[in-house]
């Protein structure tokens, strides 16, 4: 309630009809009228010019309206409409002093200031004081007659008018008691009311429907001032509690809340000036709408510049803020409750609607900060999830269990943050942010899972590669009939080990059965691929291997000793054996046989290649190729799938041809070596030389036979030669070739002779025995 112990006044509307908005706002601010809500009253005084209206108001309410100086004669003092607060009256009462009427008839023209101000007073005031001279009562030419007519006419222009109290203040009352005057006055009023032209709807409406008529009389201020003051003091009492039921301003239907007073007055005056009809209920709603909106906007504006809010918003930009919901709720509550207080007296529906708008706008305004905060919570929860998961995995926790625990704890953390950020004014939904967090967590978990599984897969593939690659290569080195069976066995064993270890390793991931099966199958396929890849690699080197195999078998005997071609060996058989071994190697390399199906390939290859069909085909008749099992690019006949083929039949033929061509030289070499050996070991001269020697040496031979001494000498030479032959191992020296034998013998000849002579000399000189000749002889034969 406004409490002000002095009068404050201002001109509300000037003589030209201009509304003094600034003045009124100042008046409202100074008198704190806004705080009154609905607890205020407005009264207006109308009456002829210089009828003592200002004087009466000033005495009644201690206002300071301008009064005419009594010594300067009667002339118009008040121009337009003035307002002032009534000092010491409870409730707060606004008094309006209207420009005095000049007592002339105005006809039906509503645009005169007199009518406009009368209409304004009736629309705004709860109590209208009609100031009139006592001597005008019952007079036909009364000064207030046009005024009343105006009042009644304009009242018709107010839709759904409120019931206004018309307080007739009879001035300069005579000795005639008021009880006698009042019926005459009522009669005068009724006559005027009847004479006023009314709209059809109000044709029979009685005056009492619109007005609450009261009459009071005052003694002359000029002549009986003391009495006047005394009566004024009594009259003043009637204005206390005027808004209570039964009070002077008892009808409160059309009252506008004090917060809307300024706007309401401005709007009413604007409508009056535009000469439009005033719909007071609609006006009331309009005032409520505008004022509630203004107040709501003001609250929103204050919210946007609130220091606490700005600090909170800034803090949210940087990171999570604890107690966000509590702090924001308190800030919002300040403005929402402020709005409620200021708009309390306005139309309920309008007020609520505007409150909802204020809430909605305010929440929209602060919502980005809330989302920002949730973003921080989401980010933090995700980061915590990542670090917690890493920690758990580092200490060896199971993957699925780690994911579950980390997810639970970070979601709990998010929920706590979310609960902390919630405000009581709104039920903000964080489900989308939460869903996003879940998606992020799942995506991260999935990526970590993929990385971990990839690591495992790579390590097991590496392990499989190591355990298969070299052993398979080694098996191909010694390729034979059981090679593929051994490879299959190796593959099965190593795959089994890897699969069981891998299954155990991925069990903590708790993957679904189909994924696990697929991964295991991939690992098995990988192992198989390693073998297949190795087989293809080896197949590319098959010709070299075949040649190696050939030369290994061809050049070594059964004891793996290098073969010496002495002429006794059966080169044909050895060649066949070597080729068989090579063909056997080729048959191993022809196709991948991991499925364990028995293959007929070896038989086909042997029958086709070893029996010389290939050579025959190439040289005899091209038409034979149609029956050649190797004249094909696939091994369909022996049920080998195309993807298992390493070397096609045609390639086999070509390889075999190449192989034979390239190994033929080795065979030729062996045959040559054998021939050379034979030749080098045949030391007897040719038969023709023997015959020539016999014919030509017949005389010398006969000479030797005739002389025994020659024969003896010949025998000694023979013995010496034999000793030399044995001692020097002449056949052995010639085994490495003729030239090498000659060089070796020539280098050893002299030392051997010397050695022999030295030993003979030693025997003859140093060791005298009983039977020296026999011993010498045995030495020679021993040598
Ligand atoms: N006879 C008589 N004169 C009065 C009375 N009260 C005031 N006056 C005189 O009437 C003259 C006009 O007084 P105001 O109070 O200025 O009258 P007003 O009606 O406000 O005048 P306007 O605002 O110009 O219309 C002054 O000289 C007063 O002394 C009264 O009760 N009786």
* Global pTM value: 0.62
Tell me 99's DSSP state. Answer: P
Q: How far is CA 462 from CA 418, 454, 458, 678, in A?
A: 48, 12, 6, 58
**Nearest alpha carbon, ligand 1 atom 18:** 50
Distance between CA atoms of 384 and 762, rounded to whole angstroms? 106
Cβ-contact 398, 508 below 8 angstroms: yes
In a 13 Å sphere around the CA of 392, the CA atoms on its Cβ side amount to 21
**Nearest alpha carbon, ligand 1 atom 12:** 50
**Nearest alpha carbon, ligand 1 atom 32:** 220
**The predicted structure's pLDDT at residue 491:** 93
ipTM over 0.90: yes
**The predicted structure's pLDDT at residue 525:** 93
- For 493-550, write each residue's pLDDT tens digit: 999 999 999 999 999 898 899 999 999 999 999 999 999 999 999 999 889 989 998 9
In 3-state terms, what secondary structure has residue 402? helix
Strands 81-85 and 92-98: antiparallel
Give residues with Cβ within 8 angstroms of 596, minimum separation 6: 484, 485, 488
Q: Where are the beta strands (DSSP E) in 35-91?
A: 40-46, 81-85
DSSP conformation letters of 607-645:
IIIITTHHHHHHHS-GGGGGG-TTSSSS-GGGT--GGGB
50 labelled ligand-binding: yes
Cβ-contact 44, 129 below 8 angstroms: yes
Distance between CA atoms of 756 and 407, rounded to whole angstroms? 103
Is any ligand 1 atom within 6 A of the Cβ of residue 599?
Answer: no
Helix (H) or strand (E) holding 665: helix 649-681
52 labelled ligand-binding: yes
Give residues with Cβ within 8 angstroms of 400, minimum separation 6: 508, 509, 510
Residues, the chain:
783
Distance between CA atoms of 106 and 51, rounded to whole angstroms? 20
Cβ-contact 152, 193 below 8 angstroms: yes
In a 13 Å sphere around the CA of 741, the CA atoms on its Cβ side amount to 16
**The predicted structure's pLDDT at residue 442:** 93
- Ligand 1 atom at shortest distance from the alpha carbon of 70: 27
Cα of 144 vs centre of ligand 1, distance in Å, is 15
Q: Where are the beta strands (DSSP E) in 319-361?
A: none
- For 224-234, write each residue's pLDDT tens digit: 999 999 999 99
- Neighbouring-strand partners of residue 242: none
Residue 200 CB neighbour total at 10 angstroms: 6
Cα of 578 vs centre of ligand 1, distance in Å, is 153
Is any ligand 1 atom within 6 A of the Cβ of residue 221?
Answer: yes
32 labelled ligand-binding: no
| 16: phi then psi, degrees, rounded to nearest 5 | -90, 0
Pocket mutation for ligand 1, best pick of 11, 56, 67 (most atoms within 8 Å of C-beta) = 67
Q: Domain 9-276: state its class.
A: alpha beta
Helix (H) or strand (E) holding 132: strand 127-133
54 labelled ligand-binding: yes
Is any ligand 1 atom within 6 A of the Cβ of residue 77?
Answer: yes
**The predicted structure's pLDDT at residue 197:** 81
Distance between CA atoms of 256 and 281, rounded to whole angstroms? 10
Helix (H) or strand (E) holding 3: none
Cβ-contact 523, 502 below 8 angstroms: yes
**The predicted structure's pLDDT at residue 612:** 58
Residue 501 CB neighbour total at 10 angstroms: 14
Is any ligand 1 atom within 6 A of the Cβ of residue 50?
Answer: yes
Tell me 134's DSSP state. Answer: G
* Residue ranges per structural domain of the chain: 9-276, 290-428, 454-474+483-528, 543-678, 689-782
**The predicted structure's pLDDT at residue 774:** 42
**The predicted structure's pLDDT at residue 422:** 92
Point out the residues of the chain with pLDDT beneath 70. Answer: 1-3, 69-77, 103-111, 158-162, 250, 597-599, 611-627, 633, 636-640, 682-684, 735-737, 766-783
């Amino acid at each position: 309630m406004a409490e002000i112990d002095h009068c404050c006044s201002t001109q509300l509307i000037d003589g030209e009809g201009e509304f003094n908005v600034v003045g009124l706002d100042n008046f409202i601010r100074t008198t704190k009228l806004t705080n009154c809500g609905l607890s205020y009253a407005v009264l207006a005084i109308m009456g002829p010019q210089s009828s003592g209206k200002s004087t009466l108001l000033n005495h009644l309410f201690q206002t300071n309206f301008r009064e005419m100086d009594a010594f300067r004669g009667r002339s118009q003092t008040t121009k337009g409409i003035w307002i002032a607060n009534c000092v010491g009256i409870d409730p707060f009462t606004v008094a309006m002093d209207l420009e005095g009427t000049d007592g002339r008839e105005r006809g039906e023209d509503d645009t005169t200031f007199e009518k406009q101000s009368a209409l304004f007073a009736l629309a705004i005031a709860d109590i209208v004081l009609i100031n009139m001279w006592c001597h005008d009562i019952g007079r036909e030419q009364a000064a207030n007659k046009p005024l009343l007519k105006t009042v009644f006419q304009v009242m018709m222009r107010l839709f759904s008018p409120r019931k206004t109290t018309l307080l007739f203040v009879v001035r300069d009352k005579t000795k005639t008691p008021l009880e006698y005057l009042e019926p005459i006055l009522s009669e005068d009023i009724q006559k005027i009311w009847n004479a006023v032209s009314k709209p059809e709807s109000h044709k029979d409406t009685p005056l009492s429907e619109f007005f609450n008529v009261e009459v009071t009389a005052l003694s002359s201020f000029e002549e009986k001032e003391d009495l006047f003051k005394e009566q004024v003091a009594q009259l003043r009492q009637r204005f206390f509690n005027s808004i209570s039921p039964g009070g002077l301003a008892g009808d409160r239907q059309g009252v506008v809340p004090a917060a809307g007073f300024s706007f309401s007055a401005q709007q009413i005056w604007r409508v009056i000036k535009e000469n439009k009809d005033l719909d007071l209920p609609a006006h009331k709603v309009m005032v409520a709408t505008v004022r509630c909106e203004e107040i709501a906007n003001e609250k929103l504006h204050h919210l946007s510049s609130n220091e606490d809010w700005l600090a909170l918003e800034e803090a949210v930009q940087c990171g999570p803020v604890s107690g966000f919901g509590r702090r924001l709720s308190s800030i919002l509550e300040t403005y929402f409750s402020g709005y409620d207080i200021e708009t309390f007296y306005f139309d309920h529906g309008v007020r609520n609607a505007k409150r909802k708008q204020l809430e909605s706008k305010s929440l929209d305004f602060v919502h980005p900060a809330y989302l920002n905060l949730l973003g921080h919570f989401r980010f933090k929860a995700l980061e915590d999830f990542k670090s917690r998961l890493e920690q758990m995995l580092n200490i060896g926790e199971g993957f699925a269990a780690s994911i579950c625990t980390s997810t639970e704890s970070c979601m709990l953390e998010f929920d706590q943050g979310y609960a902390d950020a919630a405000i009581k004014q709104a039920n903000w939904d964080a489900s989308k942010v939460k869903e996003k967090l879940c998606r992020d967590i799942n995506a991260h978990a999935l990526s970590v899972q993929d990385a971990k599984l990839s690591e495992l897969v790579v390590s097991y593939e590496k392990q499989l590669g190591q355990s298969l690659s070299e052993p398979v290569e080694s098996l191909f080195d010694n390729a034979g009939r059981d090679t593929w069976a051994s490879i299959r066995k190796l593959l099965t064993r190593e795959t089994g080990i890897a699969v069981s270890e891998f299954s155990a390793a991925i069990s903590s991931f708790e993957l679904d059965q189909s994924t696990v099966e697929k991964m295991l199958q991939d690992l098995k396929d990988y192992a198989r691929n390693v073998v297949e890849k190795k087989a293809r690699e080896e197949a590319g080197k098959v010709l070299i291997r075949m040649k190696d195999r050939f030369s290994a078998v061809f050049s070594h005997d059964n004891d793996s000793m290098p073969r010496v071609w002495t002429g006794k060996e059966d080169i044909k058989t050895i060649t066949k054996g070597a080729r068989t071994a090579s063909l056997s190697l080729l048959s191993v390399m022809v196709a991948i046989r991991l499925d364990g199906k028995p293959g007929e390939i070896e038989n086909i290859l042997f029958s086709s290649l070893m029996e010389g069909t290939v050579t025959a085909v190439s040289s005899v008749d091209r038409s034979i190729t149609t029956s050649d099992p190797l004249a094909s690019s696939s091994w369909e006949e022996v049920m080998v799938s195309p993807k298992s083929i390493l070397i096609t039949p045609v390639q086999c033929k070509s390889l075999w041809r190449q192989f034979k061509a390239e190994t033929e030289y080795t065979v030729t070499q062996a045959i040559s070596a054998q021939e050379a050996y034979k030749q080098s070991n045949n030391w007897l001269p040719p038969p023709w030389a023997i015959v020539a020697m016999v014919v030509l040496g017949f005389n010398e031979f006969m000479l030797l036979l005739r002389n025994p001494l020659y024969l003896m000498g010949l025998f000694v030479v023979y013995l010496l030669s034999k000793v030399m032959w044995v001692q020097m191992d002449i056949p052995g020296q010639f085994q490495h070739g003729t030239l090498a034998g000659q060089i070796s013998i020539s280098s050893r000849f002299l030392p051997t002779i010397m050695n022999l002579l030295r030993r003979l000399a030693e025997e003859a000189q140093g060791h005298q025995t009983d039977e020296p000749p026999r011993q010498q002889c045995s030495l020679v034969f021993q040598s």
